[in-house]
Homo-oligomer: A and B are copies of this chain.
Amino acid sequence: MTNQQRFMQEAIQSALQGMHKNGGGPFGAVVVKGEEIIARGNNRVTATNDPTAHAEIMAIREACKKINSFQLTGCDIYTSCEPCPMCLGAIYWARPDHLYYACTKEDAAAAGFDDEFIYREINLPHPDRSIPFISISQKQALVVFEDWVKKSDKTPY
């Protein structure tokens, strides 16, 4: 068994444990820095009433807290299943070096998790989405970005 397979085995264990403890859906993830697991996460959507509590998000939050950084440079993420669009976005914002996944989104769909639906919606024009995306007050809001550009003590990210 390679190190990568061992780390994935830990992600799978997090998925199984989380599900059997009724945390939420059957998903687990770990974050690895060097040869060490620095964070574990499992889906906790239903236990915590938090629709964002997916395994990858939980593991990313935990890992960032541990290393006091909002960036996972030099880290890898292992997840028991291909990320949904929310988690894919979170992974890009956290910027790990690699993402390893085991089950595919087709496997997830067969078990009743239709992430594919959100992937399809992303590419639809706003009026055609099942949740309508409606543009208002654009001009009034631009002041926020104007203030940001002028702000001298900002932390870019």
Contact = CB atoms under 8 A, between A and B. Distances in A.
A147 to B, nearest CB: 7
Contacts of A148: 19, 25-26, 111-112
Interface residues of A, number: 89
A142 B107 CA distance: 8
A110 B19 CA distance: 43
A118 B90 CA distance: 10
A11 to B, nearest CB: 8
Contact of A86 (B24, B86, B137): B86
Given A111-B145, A123-B123, A19 B91 contact: no
A94 B124 CA distance: 19
Interface of A: 4-5, 8-9, 12, 15-16, 19-20, 22, 24-28, 45-46, 49-52, 57, 60-61, 64-65, 68-72, 80-82, 84-104, 107-108, 110-112, 117-119, 121-123, 131-138, 140-145, 147-149, 151, 153-157
Given A9-B140, A98-B132, A101-B136, 20 more contacts: A4-B136, A12-B143, A16-B147, A20-B147, A27-B144, A49-B64, A50-B64, A52-B60, A52-B90, A52-B93, A80-B141, A85-B92, A86-B88, A86-B93, A92-B117, A97-B131, A100-B134, A107-B142, A108-B145, A119-B122
